[in-house]
Amino acid sequence: MESCTSLYNRIRASGFTPSKKQGQNFLIDDNIRRIILKNACPTPGEEILEIGPGNGALTVGLLDNGAKVWAIEKDPWLCAFLSRLLEKEGRFHLLQEDALRTPVEELPPRKLVSNLPYSITSPLLYKLWGLEERFSLLIFMVQWEVAQRLMAPIGSKNYSLLTVLFQITHQVEVIHRVPRTCFLPMPDVDSAIVGIKWKGPSLGELKDTIKTLMESGFRHRRKTLINSLRSSLGPGDWVPLLSEAGVPPRARAQEVTPHQWLAMARILMERKDTL
Is 148 found in the same domain as 246?
no
Per-chain mean pLDDT for the chain: 94
24-47 pLDDT tens trace: 899 999 999 999 999 999 999 999
Q: Is 260 part of any domain? A: yes
Final residue belonging to a domain, choices 149, 169, 198: 198
SS3 at position 184 = strand
Final residue belonging to a domain, choices 154, 182, 198: 198
pLDDT band, very low/low/confident/very high, at 273 (cuts 50, 70, 90): low
Is 190 found in the same domain as 210?
no
CA dihedral 205, 208, 214, 217 (to 10 degrees): -110
Is 93 found in the same domain as 224?
no
Is 130 found in the same domain as 229?
no
pLDDT over 80 (residue 272): no
Note the pLDDT of residue 201. 86
Is 167 found in the same domain as 240?
no
Final residue belonging to a domain, choices 152, 167, 198: 198
Q: Is 70 part of any domain? A: yes
80-93 pLDDT tens trace: 999 999 999 999 99
Q: Give the Å distances, CA to CA, from 36 to 33, 123, 141, 145, 232.
A: 5, 22, 8, 19, 41
pLDDT cut 90: percent of the chain above it: 88
Q: Is 225 part of any domain? A: yes
Is 213 found in the same domain as 176?
no
Compute the average pLDDT of residues 59-65.
98
pLDDT band, very low/low/confident/very high, at 236 (cuts 50, 70, 90): confident
Q: Is 194 part of any domain? A: yes
Output the domain CATH number for residue 91. Answer: 3.40.50.150
Is 210 found in the same domain as 193?
no
Is 113 found in the same domain as 185?
yes
Is 64 found in the same domain as 185?
yes
Compute the average pLDDT of residues 253-270.
94
Note the pLDDT of residue 70. 98
Is 135 found in the same domain as 37?
yes
Output the domain CATH number for residue 252. Answer: 1.10.8.100
Domains: count for the chain: 2
Domain hosting residue 217, numbered range: 206-270
Instruction: Identify whether 249 is preceded by a cis peptide bond (ω within 30 of 0).
Output: no
Instruction: Look up the pTM and report it.
Output: 0.92
Is 254 found in the same domain as 138?
no
Is 130 found in the same domain as 47?
yes
What's the rounded Cα separation, in Å, for the pair 46 and 91? 10
